């Protein structure tokens, strides 16, 4: 796989770009330049999620897709005409550094496999462009620290794709918690998982995925516990269950983990690659409760509390995330917890989860600095 990827990255980027009408490309960029305060975005890694983001951007008011970065030249003829991307805004992983001189691009959205995030964030930062990176942020907390430092040194903004922080039901839950409507938070029960398919996919290869279910969708249950309590955990315990040692030879299959918080609140969480219909956030306070189910997938999100149905708007998560992100960058609106530092906090706990598994479920304490 690596030799094929290297070969494709070395191909000239002009292969197959003739499918786009130059006039159409020019018209697209001209429209962008005429618009006031639009965030101009390039997508890096043109897989399934990038396609979802690209389609969502079409409905954004403050964001426009102006560039692409890919290691697979064969995808270029599909993307260019679909989104009006001119030749000069198409890059390979090897030519990414040239993006530094392109005024048509403000930010690069990284949706490549997990273990490539570290390298790609450093590349984008070095090119002087703002960056948003998909979850999980990195393979471990140390990489996350280095990514944050690189972006600060370059003077660029660094965000993580926590789309749920813009989702109305999730925002209402956080508002109610901050307003004290649940009282003292006592318990959180979160889980997120699905039955993974193709056994040859990159998510089951540790060199590309960094880990299994915990790294991929376990971060939703973890992040949800943190925003449901508004606290950072003091300790972590975790257990792994593996029923298929062939398919999950390199990565974790099912992980359950528990978190203890300074207020005394506890969280019981789970994640899996082995079964479906496993998605929920349940918060219990001494004055009320909240339940989101579905809570973490692409929607429609549904919720209820001790007061009744939440009845929040149903939105496209990626559209509201990108418009919200643009508002943060262009207008200085405070971000709702999606900076690189937020991603680091999750990585610190994920490190502790894996450490507890290695120690057969031993309780791992996190110190005041959030490190093991």
Structural domains of the chain, ranges and CATH numbers in brackets: 2-163 (3.40.50.720), 167-310+340-365 (3.30.360.10)
Which positions are annotated as active-site residues?
Answer: 135, 220
User: Sheet of 158-160: strands edge to edge?
Assistant: 90-91, 63-69, 39-44, 107-110, 130-133, 158-160
For residue 126, the SS3 value is helix
Among residues of the chain, what percentage have pLDDT more than 70? 89
pLDDT of 301 reads 97
Residues in the chain: 372
Q: Residue 6: pLDDT above 70? A: no
- What pLDDT score was predicted for residue 36? 67
Cβ–Cβ under 8 Å, residues 300 and 293: no
Q: What tens digit of pLDDT does each residue of 244-297 get?
A: 999 999 999 999 999 999 999 999 999 999 999 999 999 999 999 999 999 999
Among 341, 340, 347, 342, residue whose Cα is nearest residue 139: 347
How confident is the model over 162-174, as a mean pLDDT? 98
Question: Residue 233 in contact with residue 266, Cβ under 8 Å?
Answer: no
pLDDT confidence of residue 24: 39
For the whole model, what pTM was predicted? 0.89
Answer whether residue 12 shows pLDDT above 50.
no
Average pLDDT, the chain: 91
Q: Please, which pLDDT band fits residue 371 given cuts at 50, 70 and 90?
A: low
Q: Over range 326-351, report the average pLDDT.
A: 96
Confidence band for 367, pLDDT divided at 50, 70 and 90: confident
Which residues have C-beta within 8 Å of that of residue 241, sequence separation ≥ 6?
A: 253, 254, 255, 256
277 close to 257: Cβ distance less than 8 angstroms: no
With 60 as the cut, is the pLDDT of residue 167 above it? yes
Pairing of strands 158-160, 130-133: parallel
For residue 157, give the 3-state DSSP assignment: coil
Taking alpha carbons only, the member of 100, 125, 106, 88 closest to residue 32 is 106
Nearest to 172 by CA among 17, 302, 355, 332: 302
> The dihedral of CA 96, 51, 106, 124: what is its sign?
negative
- Please, how many CA atoms are within 13 Å of residue 315, restricted to the half-sphere of its CB? 22
Q: How high is the pLDDT of residue 33?
A: 42
pLDDT at 232 over 90: yes
Whether the per-residue pLDDT at 16 is higher than 80: the answer is no
Separation CA 72–CA 99 (nearest Å): 18
Q: Is the peptide bond before 332 cis (omega within 30 degrees of 0)?
A: no
| pLDDT tens for each residue of 29-86 | 434 443 468 999 999 999 999 999 999 999 999 999 999 999 999 999 999 999 999 9
CA atoms within 13 A on the CB side of 348: 21
């Amino acid at each position: 796989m690596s030799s094929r990827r290297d070969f494709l990255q070395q191909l000239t980027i002009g292969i197959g770009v003739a499918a786009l009408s130059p006039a159409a490309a020019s018209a697209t960029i001209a429209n962008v330049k005429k618009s006031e305060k639009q965030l101009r975005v390039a997508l890096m890694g043109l897989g399934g999620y990038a396609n979802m983001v690209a389609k969502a951007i079409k409905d954004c008011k403050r964001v426009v897709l102006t560039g692409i970065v890919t290691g697979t030249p064969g995808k270029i003829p599909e993307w260019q005409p679909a989104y009006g991307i001119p030749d000069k805004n198409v890059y390979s992983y090897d030519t990414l550094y040239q993006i530094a001189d392109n005024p048509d691009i403000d930010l690069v959205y990284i949706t490549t496999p997990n273990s490539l995030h570290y390298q790609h964030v450093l590349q984008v930062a070095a090119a002087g462009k703002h960056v948003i990176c998909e979850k999980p942020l990195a393979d471990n907390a140390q990489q996350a620290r280095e990514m944050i430092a690189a972006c600060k040194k370059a003077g660029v903004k660094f965000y993580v794709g926590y789309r749920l922080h813009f989702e109305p039901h999730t925002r209402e839950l956080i508002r109610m918690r901050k307003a004290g409507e649940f009282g003292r938070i006592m318990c959180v029960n979160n889980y997120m998982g699905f039955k993974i398919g193709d056994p040859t996919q990159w998510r089951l290869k540790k060199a590309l995925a960094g880990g299994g279910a915990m790294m991929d969708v376990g971060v939703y249950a973890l992040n949800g516990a943190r925003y449901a309590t508004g606290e950072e955990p003091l300790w972590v315990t975790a257990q792994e269950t593996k029923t298929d040692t062939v398919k999950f030879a390199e990565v974790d299959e099912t992980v359950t983990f528990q978190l203890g918080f300074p207020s005394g609140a506890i969280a019981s969480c789970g994640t899996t690659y082995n079964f479906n219909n496993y998605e929920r956030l349940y918060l219990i306070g001494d004055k009320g409760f909240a339940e989101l189910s579905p809570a973490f997938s692409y929607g429609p999100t549904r919720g209820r509390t001790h007061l009744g149905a939440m009845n929040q708007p149903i939105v496209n998560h990626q559209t509201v995330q990108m418009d919200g992100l643009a508002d943060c960058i262009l207008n200085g609106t405070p971000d709702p917890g999606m900076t690189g530092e937020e991603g680091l906090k999750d990585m610190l706990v994920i490190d502790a989860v894996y450490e507890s598994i290695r120690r057969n479920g031993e309780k791992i304490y996190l110190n005041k600095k959030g490190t093991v």
